[in-house]
Amino acid sequence: MKNETTKFSVSRAILAISNRIKHWALIIFPLCFFFISCNGSKKQSAGQEVNEVKLQTEDILFPVSEVLNLKSYYLSSYFHNDSLSLIYGYNYKSHALDCMDLKRHQISQILLSSQGESAVMRSVTGLFIQTPDSIWIYDDTQRILLINGDGKLLKTVDLRPELKNNEQILINTNHAISTARLFYDGGRHSLLYGIKDFSTSPVTFKVRETFLNSMTPSVDYLLQPSVAVTNVSGRDYGNMSDLNITFTAEKLLYNYPVESHVYVMDRKSGEQKVFEADSRFTKNVVEKCESGNYEQWERHNIENPHFYDLMYLPQTGMYARLHLGGIEFDATRDIQNLMDDRDLYLTFFDKDFVVVGEAKLPSHRYNYFTGWRETNDGVALFVDNSLDENEQTEELVLDIVRLQAD
């Protein structure tokens, strides 16, 4: 990993629990009652093994431009229509959004203001591209901001009135912790994001839907705990104490970095299902961490796998998931080299969340600090690894990895 990305691997401080805690089960949401129907874990056919699939990779090199871009982006979002295929990445050095045109191989930039009426704070952790002229940003101030293509502030959505003292907003993109996305639902004119609730023991997670019409109360979707481990949010699993959350128009997709199952909720019915998604290459459950100090957490992170969020590929109707394998800790080696020496795996799922197959990606090539983004039919990964001996350019390079057609 590059030095500029490591500062994003430090976990954020957890909010203090208020003395006025109330149990979540007693909370009543006006005008809406949410129910859960969990159908249990959906398994692969008896005796069926996960196939190793073949991939095809398209390399995209962005020529030298006036934009001082990064080699990889810890936070990015994808937009496409009939004529555009764009990845927007947050450039923390320039405090800007770098727009990468995957068809024209060009980069443009939207500079963000640090002060004034259109100010966006530098702690940007959430990004959703509604259109190139309507961009939603979460800057860790408990507000979601809508800006246009020039960086001008169009709207501010304050999340604090709906946030209880025992709740923490979970919008995050951090390799060492979790990937919890921000989502705008155009049909319902609402914003969806994660919530971590400390009023329960163990801590629970939910998704909150906040409507842009301030007269409509928010709706909460309670997410079920892991079926493989208990008390994920405690100190037993080091930095991997949260969960990954992504969205489609109809579904909430979530999973826990510490284990391989995939969890799916139908937003309309509230029905939840759990799907087995074991890897054939790595362990499928993370071991518990021996102690609570940061050095041990760092070692725990290196020695264990980390399962990332589920990505929807709309052109194919399939889903994809990346996960890292663990390696043996070696105190004589540099921590950065150990991190970048791990193997990255890509798993594809069909529309019913059945595993199609899995493949190991090239070693020493990609940035593991969430340096990737889904595209219409594949996964885009930033080529950026400290151990890459074949890197021949300092320019921005992307690999678009797709499932090879039969």
Dump pLDDT digits (tens) for 306-359. Answer: 999 999 999 999 999 999 999 999 999 999 999 999 999 999 999 999 999 999
Per-residue pLDDT averaged across 206-235, rounded?
Answer: 92
Per-residue pLDDT averaged across 281-300, rounded?
Answer: 89
Confidence of residue 197 (pLDDT cuts 50, 70, 90): very high
Per-residue pLDDT averaged across 123-136, rounded?
Answer: 97
Query: Among 31-35, 180-184, 245-249, whose mean pLDDT is lowest?
Result: 31-35
- The pLDDT of residue 154 is 97
- The pLDDT of residue 397 is 94
Q: Is the pLDDT of residue 12 over 50?
A: no
What is the C-alpha separation between 292 and 235, in angstroms, rounded? 6
Domains of the chain, CATH where assigned: 33-403 (2.120.10.30)
Question: Contact at 8 Å (CB) between 196 and 47?
Answer: no
Q: Is the pLDDT of residue 187 over 70?
A: yes
DSSP class of residue 236 equals: T
**Largest interatomic CA distance in the chain:** 62
Q: Is the pLDDT of residue 39 over 50?
A: no
Per-residue pLDDT averaged across 123-150, rounded?
Answer: 96
Which 3 state secondary structure label does DSSP give 20?
A: coil
Global pTM reads 0.87
- The pLDDT of residue 43 is 53
The contacts of residue 317 (CB under 8 Å, 6+ apart) are 350, 351
